[in-house]
Copies of this chain bind each other. A is one copy, B any other.
């Protein structure tokens, strides 16, 4: 690997130029999937991919592939990349580090005049974030056969525009079918989006897998009486019920399994008036663990708590599971390759499990997969203040390059 030198300065210049697209005043980017800013970002990628000598193809989900031939074109490629769609007013590192990092790996190989045995492919997946179109991980989900293309194309944003219409509008509905194909290995470099590495002053980690999760949507319905003349003993207060569940979710994380995390993130109250008892409260519950059995048990316990809270307060209730994704355990050999790359580059061999979902979770069902994390300062992500020290970004790209080249060597 002495012949592969990551050029941190070149990567930095590309990173800064790229993040002028859809830049926000507070230092973030606003490039949700299939927006005009996302189109501009895609156009820029295509230019750079072609300048780097990659053959570009776009599939019918708008996933962008840039291929570099290998010495043995008959062998399945090593695929690596991430995504360039952002949250609304999101951060500059999330996704971008993995795609531009992959491009830098190719440029370093070009600099060294080195051809790998296996072909290499860089990928930028469509609609990873899921903020404009649900579900998230849509492009990689279709690629991995989790959703069919028709379903994915029909997803609508809040204005009623579909994925297919918007792909056509921005000129990124490609001809290539989006479907599973033979991939040797998939690697994804990403920011951690949690505080583990930053807390421990570590630059890079191998990711062993991704937490499974369940998303619940809960509705409590009581009675919207006047807050003054309604005695306490005749109230049916939907918010009191919901608050019981918020407290129960927190309690459960103490006892429901070592790595269980639980969050109530969204709450909607009706009629939402200072002097009216809440009649309807809708809220969500997010439960995650690396162990699917822990998620199962947590979902059952939260369902119990919902029933108990409703009974206590005399409420009607409904609980729907919006989404369930099983935990992903990445391929031992791929993780081992990342660890070997870290060792070789002189980094401490750190492993962790991702609490956040990634395109790699779906790829893991199609081919041997692993991820590389670099730190998120203070664990912050999905915000304009998201930040990673540049030397850590470069460390991640270095490890990615080593892992890719090792995997592409027969």
Residues of A bordering B, CB below 8 Å: 192-196, 199, 211, 213, 215, 223-232, 234, 237, 239-240, 242-244, 246-247, 250, 253-254, 261-269, 272-278, 284, 286, 288, 322, 354-357, 379-383
Closest Cβ of chain B to A279, distance in Å, is 9
Closest Cβ of chain B to A369, distance in Å, is 18
Chain B, Cβ-Cβ closest to A267: B269
Q: Are B265 and A274 in contact (CB under 8 A)?
A: yes
Q: Are B286 and A229 in contact (CB under 8 A)?
A: no
Known: A246-B243, A264-B239, A267-B269. A228 touches B193 (CB 8 A): yes
Known: A194-B231, A265-B272, A275-B263. A355 touches B226 (CB 8 A): yes
C-alpha spacing A267/B274, complex, angstroms:
9
B193, B211, B228: the one contacting A288 at CB < 8 Å is B228
Copies in the complex: 2
C-alpha spacing A381/B224, complex, angstroms:
9
Q: Are B267 and A230 in contact (CB under 8 A)?
A: no
Q: Are A266 and B272 in contact (CB under 8 A)?
A: yes
Q: Give chain B residues whose Cβ lies under 8 Å from the Cβ of A262.
A: 232
Q: Are B265 and A229 in contact (CB under 8 A)?
A: no
C-alpha spacing A262/B250, complex, angstroms:
24
C-alpha spacing A282/B213, complex, angstroms:
28
C-alpha spacing A288/B226, complex, angstroms:
12
Q: Are A286 and B227 in contact (CB under 8 A)?
A: yes
C-alpha spacing A253/B277, complex, angstroms:
14
Q: Give chain B residues whose Cβ lies under 8 Å from the Cβ of A234.
A: 195, 199, 379
Q: Are B278 and A274 in contact (CB under 8 A)?
A: no
Closest Cβ of chain B to A357, distance in Å, is 7
Pull 26 A–B residue pairs with CB atoms less than 8 Å apart, ordered by A.
A194-B225, A194-B229, A195-B234, A196-B229, A196-B231, A211-B228, A213-B228, A225-B379, A225-B380, A226-B355, A228-B261, A228-B286, A228-B354, A228-B355, A228-B356, A228-B357, A229-B355, A230-B355, A230-B379, A232-B253, A232-B262, A234-B379, A239-B246, A240-B247, A266-B269, A266-B274
B230, B355, B383: the one contacting A224 at CB < 8 Å is B383
B192, B242, B264, B322: the one contacting A229 at CB < 8 Å is B192
Q: Give chain B residues whose Cβ lies under 8 Å from the Cβ of A228.
A: 193-194, 211, 213, 261, 286, 288, 354-357
Q: Are A284 and B274 in contact (CB under 8 A)?
A: yes
C-alpha spacing A264/B239, complex, angstroms:
8
Closest Cβ of chain B to A247, distance in Å, is 6
User: 4 additional contacts, CB 8 Å, given A199-B234, A274-B286?
Assistant: A225-B380, A227-B355, A263-B276, A266-B274
Most chain B beta-carbon contacts within 10 A, residue among A263, A272, A277, A286: A263
Closest Cβ of chain B to A280, distance in Å, is 12
Q: Give chain B residues whose Cβ lies under 8 Å from the Cβ of A278.
A: 264-265, 267
Q: Give chain B residues whose Cβ lies under 8 Å from the Cβ of A231.
A: 194-196, 261
Nearest first, the 7 A-B pairs at minimum CB distance are A194-B229, A228-B355, A229-B355, A227-B263, A243-B246, A243-B243, A228-B356
Closest Cβ of chain B to A82, distance in Å, is 16
C-alpha spacing A286/B286, complex, angstroms:
30
Q: Are A229 and B193 in contact (CB under 8 A)?
A: yes
